[in-house]
A and B are shown apart, each in its own frame.
Chain A
Amino acid sequence: MALTSTLPPVLRESGQREVFCGLTSIVWLHRRMPDAFFLVVGSRTCAHLIQSAAGVMIFAEPRFGTAILGERDLAGLADANEELDRVVNDLLARRPEIRTLFLVGSCPSEVIKLDLAKAAERINTRMLGRVRVVNYSGSGIETTFTQGEDGALTSLVPLLPASPEPQLLIVGTLADGVEERFLSLFARMGLETVRTLPPRQSTDLPPVGEGTRLLLAQPFVADTVRALERRGAQRISAPYPLGVEGSCAWMAAAAAAFGIDPRRVAEVLDPLAERGRRALEPLRRRLEGKRLFLLPDSQLEIPLARFLHRECGMELVEVGTPYLDRQLMAEELPLLPEGTQLSEGQDVEKQLERVRASRPDLVVCGMGLANPLEAEGFATKWSIELVFSPIHGCDQAADLAELFARPLNRRELLQWN
């Protein structure tokens, strides 16, 4: 932590935020666990939000829906509980293949204090093991964007079987291909028992216990980590697996935690790192010296900034994050260049003024802001794309850099005369 003192004080802002709420993470979680269904208990706004965030309907029959609260439900809580049971019955009759049902709390269900934990318990009892019902909150008054995944994973922790067996547990959703690649690399190093949370089938839950070491694939799973630690697991402190450097350090930290010979680790990683850096080289030439402004959105901002600065040579104007978890960022913060301005929270108008004043070459931002910034002459990158794309690992480092190089390339390609 001592090293972070080279960073200026964090700019803390509270005002209008342009960040999705935690409900949005359903959009990738339902793809990860095809046997799960996410039922938001909320308002028409919630339903509209998820469908808009999902690119206005990519899927004809989604594995998520909303139980929309009406005036009648607000009149009395007993009524709302009965209604919820009815909706769940209808849903499960329609979708008999569902094995896990997530009841997802929202702003209105929290404000009226609808007890979804109790509801989940009640429905569980009635379903007699046919479907497992868990609950968490994705409400915007409590959570931002990616924190929804943290809530969903936390809700699964009590269901995990106990086991003292030594194992590596990767926490946080990865793209399927990337995950397979990591598993095979760990196997090459001699690390055989590697499991993931969330699993690919919601019922295929990994065990947890004293022998479990946690490796975070995503930086936004703080509550899940705490819940797993209470079950005896221990976290491996590491940077996040973005870029060649981060990915190698991430895998090496896991190997070290299991006492694997560093020479063996080097045998596996060195050729990968070499190849990864070679692939990055042309993109580094494209990005080097370009000034980058990251608006707060996905919690990936700090590891991304680290990668884009250290491996792609970009200059960091400001690195925003919806909230700063110093513990989970302990390995990342010292890797940021001296003087990096971090900001936490958001006051969007003020932040946009700083964007305009600093004229960065590229702005990473949420979807609502991208086109208006493009119209003002800024190249932008949607931050949500980074949660959907396979960006983790040495093999993906060049792809990740390419995502940032593309908007710049495009601007140079276009001509109007």
Chain B
Amino acid sequence: MELTLWTYEGPPHVGAMRIAASMEGVHYVLHAPQGDTYADLLFTMIERRDRRPPVTYTTFQARDLGGDTAELVKRSIQQAVDRFQPEALLVGESCTAELIQDQPGSLACGMGLGVPVVSLELPAYSKKENWGAAETLYQLCRGLLKTQMPAPGAAKPEPERWRSEGRRPRVNLLGPSLLGFRCRDDVRELRGLLADHGIDVNVVAPLGARPADLMRLPQADANLCLYPEVAGPLCSWLERSFGTPVVRTVPIGIGATAQFLRELCALLGLEPPELREADQRSRLPWYSKSVDSTYLTGKRVFIFADATHAIAAARIASRELGFTVVGLGTYSREQAREVRVAAKELDLEALISDDYLEVEQAMAQAAPELVLGTQMERHSAKRLGIPCAVISAPLHVQDVPARYAPQMGWEGANVIFDSWVHPLMMGLEEHLIGMFRHDFEFVDGHLSHLEGASAPTAQPVAGPDNGAPDVTPLSATPEGGALRWTASGEAELSRIPFFVRGKVRRNTEAYANERGVAEITEETLYEAKAHFSR
């Protein structure tokens, strides 16, 4: 038994729903009690989809348990097939149904439905959403491709066969799904990127694919494993069974996109991409080199996300933006090894956890200036008063923007530059704050156009300047004693621009606590400033 307040991942059957809802022509019959239909709103509310996910729930009740729930399952399956006439049917159960052991998959297989049936066994008490999504995609493809499997020992297809076949090379984009982070835009970005290099897209799956498209998966010259959380097992199986090579570099960020193109071109026997392509196609390299970005140097950043986005973020932050990564972790246990390796390169110990409180604690300890995380970290960061950009699922409706906002490829790098750097500055560059700190615009009560939208540390509270007492003169120390701000300390604090005052207050109090200082004077504030400056 494990205590959870918020969870990063749903149960595995929600992963299966993500696959079904991402595709066309697939229907999922889910043996589940009333209430499990909540999962529909992940799609209709968070993703703002215009249709319900293609799922029929059996909605069994307590009174059904004494009777024949198997009959209910069969009835629901038959009704779903009659009503929706799917091209492939997924049948599975949620956590409660797993306990009553009706085995809906076997029941469906015995019904002679005339459509391919994939029976899903997703252990609800040991696995989670991403695993469920990966397993479902793999089982569905395996079921559909059963008849196409080459004999064991058959020759592997040559990745350069496109030449002899007189066509352009073609690849599959695997892994993009609903409730993933910006998958739809990533697919569009990659289609363009690949087209620029003379490469066609054979199948995108699961997003937008039909079962018939999955039947064409083996026709690709290579598989691009874009989201290993979802596509990892499928790519490995296609490689083992059909000999299709896999490119596993995820093209998020400048370096990774360039590496991805190099690997893919080498694999397909294409000319290597031009070295200057990144500079020509993305603004990130120049924006990052430009003088205005100088102040980004060594900004302390804490990263926690799914493995794919966490690893990409660590690389971009440390190499392409000049940040110092002070924490790196993931909730994706299946990819923990890769994240550990990435952390080790940065002299860090990776945090592998699905306990958001543990993550919050690590975040607080690392004292970053920017958090790159999920919806959970957005909340933790808000509580700690640290700017945050969301880089991975689980997400909120606000993370599904109307505009084109990919993460992958050259445009993705532009989007990343904007969305990570803006929470840090929003026009409030530190050197300007230093230069103009005594100007009246920075005095309390003067609300600039940046107010509210800008620095999360903004605290438009009345300070001593306005004659009103500070609202929180006492802060608790870890020992249970109270820190006291003296008049001189308060006066100096009030001279600090309101949008960084909260941070200065916290830093000073942390410093005082560490040193066992009970009274914070003007001098304490400057000592703390000296201590924290680098």
Contacts and interface: CB of A to CB of B under 8 A. Distances in A.
Interface of A: 15-24, 41, 43-45, 47-49, 51-53, 56-57, 59-62, 64-71, 73-74, 80, 83-84, 86-87, 90-91, 107-108, 110-112, 139-142, 144, 349, 366-372, 374-375
A151 to B, nearest CB: 14
B382 A141 contact: no
B11 A48 contact: yes
A15 B33 contact: no
B375 interface: yes
A370 B59 contact: no
Contacts of A24: 35, 38
A328 to B, nearest CB: 21
A45 B10 contact: yes
Contacts of B34: 17, 19, 21, 140-141, 144
15 contacts: A16-B58, A18-B37, A43-B124, A44-B10, A44-B128, A45-B13, A45-B94, A52-B38, A52-B39, A56-B397, A65-B3, A80-B1, A90-B3, A108-B96, A142-B61
Given A20-B37, A47-B7, 18 more contacts: A16-B76, A17-B37, A17-B57, A19-B37, A21-B38, A43-B96, A47-B6, A52-B39, A66-B3, A70-B1, A84-B1, A107-B35, A108-B95, A140-B35, A140-B96, A368-B37, A368-B44, A369-B52
A67 B52 CA distance: 30
A60 B83 contact: no
Contacts of B382: 60
A51 B52 contact: no
Contacts of A108: 95-96, 99
A44 B44 contact: no
A59 B379 CA distance: 8
B238 to A, nearest CB: 29
Contact of A20 (B38, B49, B94, B99): B38
B33 A107 contact: yes
Nearest to B55: A16
B439 interface: no
B183 interface: no
Contacts of B402: none
Contacts of A83: 1
* CB-based closest 10 A-B pairs: A21-B35, A140-B35, A368-B40, A375-B50, A83-B1, A107-B96, A43-B95, A48-B10, A140-B33, A140-B34
Contacts of A71: 123, 125-126
Nearest to A45: B11
B394 interface: yes
Contacts of B39: 48, 52
A87 B94 contact: no
Contacts of A74: 99, 125
Contact of A372 (B1, B7, B50, B60): B50
Contacts of A91: 3
A366 B379 CA distance: 26
B376 interface: yes
Interface string B40-55: 1110111011111000
A45 B124 contact: yes
A52 B41 contact: yes
Contacts, number: 189
Contact of A111 (B4, B100, B376): B100
A144 to B, nearest CB: 7
A111 B93 CA distance: 15
Contacts of B51: 372, 375
B96 A44 contact: no
A111 B59 contact: no
B392 interface: no
B35 A23 contact: yes
Contacts of B60: 141
Nearest to A84: B1
Contacts of B65: 111, 141
A41 to B, nearest CB: 8
A61 B124 contact: no
Nearest to A60: B379
B407 interface: no
A299 to B, nearest CB: 14
Interface in B191-205: none
A15 B44 CA distance: 21
A82 to B, nearest CB: 9
Contact of B44 (A22, A61, A64, A371): A371
B124 A16 contact: no
A142 B2 CA distance: 24
B376 A21 contact: no
Contacts of B123: 71
Nearest to A112: B99
B495 interface: no
Contacts of A374: 50
A48 to B, nearest CB: 4
B141 interface: no
B62 interface: yes
Contacts of B99: 74, 108, 111-112
A56 B95 contact: no
B160 interface: no
B426 to A, nearest CB: 23
Contacts of A56: 46, 375, 394, 396-397
A280 B31 CA distance: 46
A371 B50 contact: yes
A368 B126 CA distance: 27
B6 A62 contact: yes
Nearest to B378: A57
Nearest to A144: B34
Nearest to A85: B1
A87 to B, nearest CB: 5
A67 B1 CA distance: 6
A15 B75 CA distance: 10
Given A17-B59, A111-B96, A372-B51, A86 B1 contact: yes
A254 B13 CA distance: 49
A144 B34 CA distance: 8
* Best-surrounded residue of B14, B35, B46, B125 (most CB of chain A within 10 A): B35
